């Protein structure tokens, strides 16, 4: 019986990639690594978050010290550092006439609440955040502190501190 030939050649199997395909993939990877790569290796985002959490904790500790001791407490915030102080006590009372605020507020570990910001990280607005004996924010340069992309919001009426 005669064989019928359709005239079509059998398809050839391709193995591997062409040089053009490899060049396109390498170009795309190069562009992605140049634009996205620095975000993965930059420490500033982590430093901002860490400092915002630390400052939020310092504000909470300052507020609690005012409530527990019955003496007003304040946190002085500069662009690159902060420190918490309290009014002097005399016996079981506070010296309300004392404007020097000589007593440092102590943290849970017993050390003074004070620190500096990491390099390149700043907070604003700067000024004094003062808490009264009921924990309310009585003196402040603003109720929202900005550190890079992070914000610390303080409710003046209750003294509630929230890091966002």
Find, among 48, 63, 57, 50, the residue nearest to 123 by Cα: 48
Asked if 131 and 62 touch (Cβ cutoff 8 Å), the reply is: yes
Predicted pLDDT of residue 45 = 84
> Against a cut of 0.85, is the pTM above it?
no
Name the stretches of the chain with pLDDT < 70. Answer: 1-11, 14
Predicted pLDDT of residue 2 = 57
Is 142 a member of any domain?
yes
Is 148 a member of any domain?
yes
Is 15 a member of any domain?
no
Predicted pLDDT of residue 16 = 85
Count structural domains, the chain. 1
Q: Cα 37 to chain center, whole Å? A: 21
Which residue has tokens 């500033």? 44
Is 37 a member of any domain?
no
Is 129 a member of any domain?
yes
Rounded CA separation 3/158 (Å): 95
CA quadruple 150, 56, 104, 106: dihedral, nearest 10: -140
Predicted pLDDT of residue 76 = 97
| Pair of tokens at residue 36 | 């996205």
Predicted pLDDT of residue 15 = 78
Q: The CATH number of the domain where 90 resides is what? A: 3.55.40.10
List the domain range (segments joined by +) for residue 111. Answer: 44-163
């Amino acid at each position: 019986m005669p064989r019928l030939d359709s005239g079509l050649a059998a398809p050839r199997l391709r193995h591997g990639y062409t040089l053009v395909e490899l060049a396109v993939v390498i170009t795309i990877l190069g562009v992605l690594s140049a634009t996205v790569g620095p975000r993965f290796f930059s420490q500033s985002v982590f430093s901002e978050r860490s400092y915002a959490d630390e400052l939020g904790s310092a504000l909470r500790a300052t507020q609690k010290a005012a409530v527990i001791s019955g003496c007003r407490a304040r946190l002085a915030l500069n662009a690159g550092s902060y420190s918490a102080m309290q009014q002097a006590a005399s016996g079981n009372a506070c010296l309300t006439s004392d404007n020097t605020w000589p007593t440092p507020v102590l943290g849970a570990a017993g050390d003074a609440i004070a620190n500096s910001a990491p390099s390149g990280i700043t907070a604003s607005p700067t000024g004094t955040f003062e808490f009264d004996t009921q924990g309310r924010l009585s003196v402040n340069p603003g109720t929202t502190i900005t550190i890079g992309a992070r914000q610390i919001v303080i409710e003046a009426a209750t003294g509630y501190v929230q890091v966002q």
